[in-house]
């Protein structure tokens, strides 16, 4: 049994909460504003918009020591929809990892549209969660939670691959926002 804290109760936080519960693991779902409640999970999913990450790190950083921290953000520039807000040679996940040296940070879920986590399919294809990180055990622990919930999980490499996962998430959002792909589908891992 793994106990998972999810910070952020929007579409993604709720979808990930459902996935964890479905697999028989336990969830603590905190709103960003629940600053008085402690983080009790072994895995902590930061299911907030990227712009809210600095505040989470400032208020919760100490509580995240020793935990597996899951960054699901897509750091889009929502004014232009034409770039990310992180440096081209870095990633949101790398920045979070640099701020949390006592945590094991993994990137995951940012390439999954929320509806595909709940339905278990992207279009007709089983939903796959891509996970990147430098700690194999952390990735494996998260993958176990994902597969227990009925989805596929793939170890996509080191935390350096977060850059490519964020590029994929960015591209997917721009295409969905232009109705070039449905929010119930997206980039599925086929074959």
- Whole-number minimum distance, CB 174 to its own copies, in Å? 6
Applying CB under 8 A, which residues contact its own copies? 82-83, 87-89, 122-125, 154-158, 160-161, 163-165, 167-168, 170-171, 174-175, 180-182, 184-191
For residues 46 and 75, give the distance between their C-alpha atoms in angstroms, rounded to a whole number: 13
Task: Please tell me whether residue 128 adopts helix, strand or coil conformation.
Answer: strand
Minimum distance, C-beta of residue 57 to its own copies, in the bound complex (Å): 24
Query: Strand pairing partners for 150?
Result: none
Nearer to its own copies, 56 or 173 (CB): 173
DSSP string, 142-176: HHHHHHHTT-EEEE--SGGGHHHHHHHHHHHHHHH
Given the complex with its own copies, which of 57 and 115 has the nearer CB atom? Answer: 115
Closer residue to its own copies, CB minimum distance, 46 or 165: 165
Q: Which is nearer to its own copies, 11 or 21 (CB)?
A: 11
Is the Cβ of residue 51 or residue 190 nearer to its own copies in the bound state? Answer: 190
* Closest approach of its own copies to the CB of residue 71, in Å: 17
Tokens of 112: 């999954």
Cα dihedral sign, 45-50-51-55: positive
Residue 13 CB, nearest distance to its own copies (Å)? Answer: 22
Residue 106 pairs in a beta bridge with 70, 133
CB of residue 146 to its own copies, shortest distance in Å = 15
Neighbour-count burial for 103-124, b at 16+ CB within 10 Å, e otherwise: bbbbbbbbbbbbbbbbeeebee
């Amino acid at each position: 049994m793994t106990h998972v804290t999810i910070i952020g109760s929007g579409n993604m936080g709720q979808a990930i909460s459902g996935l964890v519960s479905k697999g028989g693991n336990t969830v603590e779902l905190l709103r960003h504003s629940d600053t008085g409640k402690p983080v009790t999970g072994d895995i902590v999913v930061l299911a907030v918009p990227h712009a809210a990450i600095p505040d989470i790190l400032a208020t919760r950083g100490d509580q995240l020591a020793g935990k597996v921290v899951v960054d699901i953000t897509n750091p889009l520039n929502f004014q232009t929809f034409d770039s990310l807000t992180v440096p081209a040679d870095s990633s949101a996940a790398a920045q979070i990892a640099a701020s949390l040296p006592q945590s094991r940070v993994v990137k995951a879920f940012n390439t999954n549209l929320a509806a595909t986590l709940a339905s278990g399919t992207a279009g007709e294809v089983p939903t796959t969660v891509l996970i990147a990180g430098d700690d194999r055990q952390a990735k494996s622990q998260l993958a176990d939670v994902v597969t227990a919930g009925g989805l596929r999980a793939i170890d996509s490499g080191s935390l350096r691959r977060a850059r490519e996962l964020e590029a994929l998430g960015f591209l997917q959002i721009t295409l969905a926002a232009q109705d070039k792909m449905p929010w119930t589908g997206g980039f599925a891992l086929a074959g």
